[in-house]
Structure 1
Amino acid sequence: MASSGLLLFLGCLASALLAGATKVHHHEFIVQETPVKRLCEEHNIITVNGQFPGPTLEVREGDTLVVNVVNQAQYNVTIHWHGIRQFRTGWADGPEFVTQCPIKPGGSYKYRFTIEGQEGTLWWHAHSSWLRATVYGALIIRPREDKPYPFDKPAREVPILLGEWWNANPVEVIREAQRTGGAPNVSDAFTVNGQPGDLYNCSRQDTTAISVKPGETALLRFINSALNHELFVSIASHKMTVVGVDASYTKPFVTSVLMIAPGQTTDVLVTMDQAPTRYYDMPGVYTTDFPANPPVQFDYTAQNVSQSLWQPIPATKLYKLRFGSVVQVVLQDTSIVTPENHPIHLHGYDFYILAEGFGNYDAEKDAAKFNLENPPQRNTVAVPVNGWAVIRFRADNPGVWLMHCHLDVHITWGLAMAFLVEDGYGELQSLEAPPVDLPMC
């Protein structure tokens, strides 16, 4: 009887370990020049593995990604894993000349990191010059094997990458702007999964079609990979139920229009309940906001949030933070020439959006607007034109973390800064040693 009980216990333990098992996924990214035809013209563009967009990476929460990037192109390159917390693995974050020197032509670098506490849709992209125009792809994080989605499992899951296309070399576009001091030329078309759509095709082949069955519910994973445009998305005659933003589940809500800032991702459920036909995604310019997350334990209100936590380093835009401190950042838009929101992205962290508003931020009056119960959790916030946003995060991830506008033209003009988060106590609160193949400058 005792033996049977022991065997039953060991069997249950083995099943539990198997169900929660994690994996190590190995990939190789060959960055190379590839001929691609769009808008009736063929251009040599920079791709990963000859694909535009690049490969979709699919993992489960808790898995480890090992991606060997081999640069066979003519430009320096780095890869950023957008939205991944990179806990203690800042060397894998990817922004050029911030956490690593670029991978030079003919060189390689192996990115290795574990994805913990995140589920949903993120993405990866080049973080060098304007290579992000063509070097990007989806990163899908599903729950562990023994954990369901917090909504009914959809019949299908489809990543949808919204991008831009130039009938020119995007690197030369930004270089010309830097030489002249003017704004760079705008793109020639928006794209969906790398295709400009029926209005711009030559042979009715330049289009993206996703076949679904009537009555089927699909999880659409929208990614705004455009360089310089906020986009809105609608699906003709259909409603969308938003269930996640920036790989954070949110309180589901129904909408007919999404606003997605550059760098942001949005997961929606759509039931195909209309008559069979072609229904179009329609990108354009729009502004709105997302409701808050479901109620979460939010203990930051008891912390001392003050500028004393910030130690500016002279002659730089680098701020030193003590490990574990709670940081409140007021993002104020004072520009007079930009008609779009500023999508501010923070590397290495998710943050809470406490409040947003228009005009100049007033610390006394506007603090009353803070949502301290169920604030939205994001890695990118769209700061309103001539307005402000207040964010908070706990500095519990050591390393150097870039914060910048995800309109690439703006980061080119200097709209970027970085936080240097000091090590805490012991190995688990300290940045890992740099890998032996970290590129040299």
Structure 2
Amino acid sequence: FTITGQRGTLLWHAHILWLRATVHGALVILPKLGVPYPFPTPYKEVVVVLGEWWKSDVEAVINEAMKSGLAPNVSDAHTINGHPGPISNCLSQGGFNLRVKSGKTYMLRIINAGMNEELFFKIAGHKLTVVEVDATYVKPFKTDTILIAPGQTTNVLLNAGHVTGKYLVAASPFMDAPIAVDNITATGTLHYSGTLSTTATTLTTPPPQNATPVAANFTDSLRSLNSKMFPAKVPLTVHHSLFFTIGLGVNPCATCVRGSRVVADINNVTFMMPKISLLQAHFFNISGVFTDDFPGNPPEVYNFTGTQPKNLGTMKGTRLYRLAYNSTVQLVLQDTGMIAPENHPIHLHGFNFFIVGRGLGNFNPKKDPKSFNFVDPVER
């Protein structure tokens, strides 16, 4: 098939329950022949896939969670290209090993293929120049730590600026809420050519698990390249203005051990998986599969980041919000403190979008839009 209008790094994965924990990989779309990168061409490109690993069958993990009504068990290890590194219960694992030549520049195509956890990634003694996220170019900036959420991709340039040596590569979790995560750091080695294997590895300390300033600084640094060849075409006319609250709830569950199940919801609606594909039902006009009454705003307005309602129940349904072809949508995603405040990585299939603003607390529709970035917002 022919790919048009796209280039960069993307993630592919299985779509049946938790099979995507192990059935996944990289889609590398090279620039059109004759079109250069908007940065110096790297000496070599390397795909780096970050993941999570369980000692159990991943299908058994999610099935047990469905039976219990609680969240799935956290993973037993993080991985870098399938290797956890020399962790205590797997001492024979040497880990991911990236060999480099002094003076050369490498492009790392980093992917978070994990199920749940946002990850920090850093390499001891080296700065990383971020040049692309989710297959869109960004204004290059240097950092010693990147943050990458499940499903996201980040391309960075690594300058092998030392003469010799071995340097620790680390992938560690980010969670700034009282939520259980796998706190084991995956490790690997950046190994300069000519360096003896017995050479001591230069270490680095990952950010603290709750390093919100590090995460926020990275996210705030992302800007579209917005060059003549790669402009940021931000739509300025809005046809639909939607406000989605993201949270958790608790619903009755007759088959669950505790008689209830923790669920996710958007605008207090918990999605029910249909037995027929939504697109199939739409194209073939099959009735009874979904309804088109998904609320564009939360049914109840309250202090979303303050005291939460006592009723934790949600509405259940396979509900969609219809949009006319070529419509422009402004969507505000508002996190809530239902059960516990936490990060909720969200991705949209089949479309790119611009992130024109972000902040803490409750969205203020009168004040916050004044600070929206319509010039060079990051596109994802």
- Is 2:224–2:232's contact at 8 Å kept on the other side of the alignment? no
Q: What letter corresponds to residue 322 of structure 1 in structure 2? A: A
Match of 1:146 among 34, 39, 51: 34
- Is 1:305–1:327's contact at 8 Å kept on the other side of the alignment? yes
Question: 2:379 is matched with which residue?
Answer: 377
How far apart are 1:338 and its partner, in Å? 4.6
1:293 lines up with 2:181 in the alignment: no
How far apart are 1:200 and its partner, in Å? 4.6
1:313 lines up with 2:201 in the alignment: no
Match of 1:350 among 333, 349, 352: 352
- Is 1:221–1:267's contact at 8 Å kept on the other side of the alignment? yes
- Is 1:119–1:141's contact at 8 Å kept on the other side of the alignment? yes
1:225 lines up with 2:113 in the alignment: yes
- Is 1:123–1:136's contact at 8 Å kept on the other side of the alignment? yes
CA distance in 2, matches of 1:143, 1:216: 21
- SS of 1:176's partner is helix
Q: TM-score, normalised by structure 2?
A: 0.66
By percentage of residues, which structure has more strand? Answer: 1
CA distance in 1, matches of 2:241, 2:338: 29
CA distance in 1, matches of 2:362, 2:350: 28
1:166 lines up with 2:54 in the alignment: yes
How far apart are 1:307 and its partner, in Å? 5.5
Question: 1:126 is matched with which residue?
Answer: 14
How far apart are 1:116 and its partner, in Å? 1.9
CA distance in 2, matches of 1:339, 1:211: 41
CA distance in 1, matches of 2:87, 2:237: 55
Match of 2:81 among 180, 193, 197: 193
- Is 1:201–1:207's contact at 8 Å kept on the other side of the alignment? no
How far apart are 1:120 and its partner, in Å? 1.2
How far apart are 1:298 and its partner, in Å? 3.2
How far apart are 1:230 and its partner, in Å? 0.3
1:199/1:364 CA distance change after superposition, 3 Å: same
- Is 1:218–1:270's contact at 8 Å kept on the other side of the alignment? yes
Deviations 1:249-300 (A, max 9, x none): 0010011110001110000001011242222221123423142112335352
- Is 2:104–2:160's contact at 8 Å kept on the other side of the alignment? yes
Question: 1:184 is matched with which residue?
Answer: 72
CA distance in 1, matches of 2:112, 2:171: 10
- Is 1:263–1:345's contact at 8 Å kept on the other side of the alignment? yes
How far apart are 1:305 and its partner, in Å? 4.3
- Aligned identity (percent) is 47
Q: What letter corresponds to residue 356 of structure 2 in structure 1? A: L
Question: 1:208 is matched with which residue?
Answer: 96
1:156/1:147 CA distance change after superposition, 3 Å: same
1:201/1:275 CA distance change after superposition, 3 Å: farther
Q: What letter corresponds to residue 237 of structure 1 in structure 2? A: G
- Is 1:230–1:340's contact at 8 Å kept on the other side of the alignment? no
How far apart are 1:204 and its partner, in Å? 3.6
> Which runs of structure 2 are paired with 1:5-84 in the superposition (5 Å)?
64=1
CA distance in 2, matches of 1:348, 1:335: 29
The runs of at least 4 aligned residues of structure 1 exceeding 6 Å deviation read none
1:299/1:167 CA distance change after superposition, 3 Å: closer
Deviations 1:343-398 (A, max 9, x none): 110000010001001111111111111111111101xxxxxxxxxxxxxxxxxxxx
Question: 1:135 is matched with which residue?
Answer: 23
Q: What letter corresponds to residue 293 of structure 1 in structure 2? A: S
How far apart are 1:313 and its partner, in Å? 2.8
CA distance in 2, matches of 1:299, 1:182: 41
1:126/1:338 CA distance change after superposition, 3 Å: farther
CA distance in 2, matches of 1:247, 1:338: 32
Q: TM-score, normalised by structure 1?
A: 0.57
- Is 2:238–2:330's contact at 8 Å kept on the other side of the alignment? no
- Is 1:298–1:372's contact at 8 Å kept on the other side of the alignment? no
Q: What letter corresponds to residue 318 of structure 1 in structure 2? A: L
- SS of 1:148's partner is coil
Q: What letter corresponds to residue 294 of structure 1 in structure 2? A: L
CA distance in 2, matches of 1:213, 1:162: 23
How far apart are 1:216 and its partner, in Å? 1.2
Deviations 1:121-179 (A, max 9, x none): 11211111111111011111111111111111101100000001101011101111110
Deviations 1:20-51 (A, max 9, x none): xxxxxxxxxxxxxxxxxxxxxxxxxxxxxxxx
- Is 2:240–2:329's contact at 8 Å kept on the other side of the alignment? yes
1:155 lines up with 2:43 in the alignment: yes
Instruction: Report how many aligned residue pairs link the two structures.
Output: 264
- Is 2:335–2:341's contact at 8 Å kept on the other side of the alignment? no
Q: Which runs of 5+ in 2 are unaligned?
A: 175-214, 244-290, 295-316
CA distance in 2, matches of 1:163, 1:332: 27
Q: What letter corresponds to residue 222 of structure 1 in structure 2? A: I
1:366/1:300 CA distance change after superposition, 3 Å: same
Q: What letter corresponds to residue 130 of structure 1 in structure 2? A: W
Q: What letter corresponds to residue 128 of structure 1 in structure 2? A: I
Question: 1:42 is matched with which residue?
Answer: none
Q: Which runs of 5+ in 1 are unaligned?
A: 1-63, 65-113, 379-441
- SS of 1:178's partner is helix
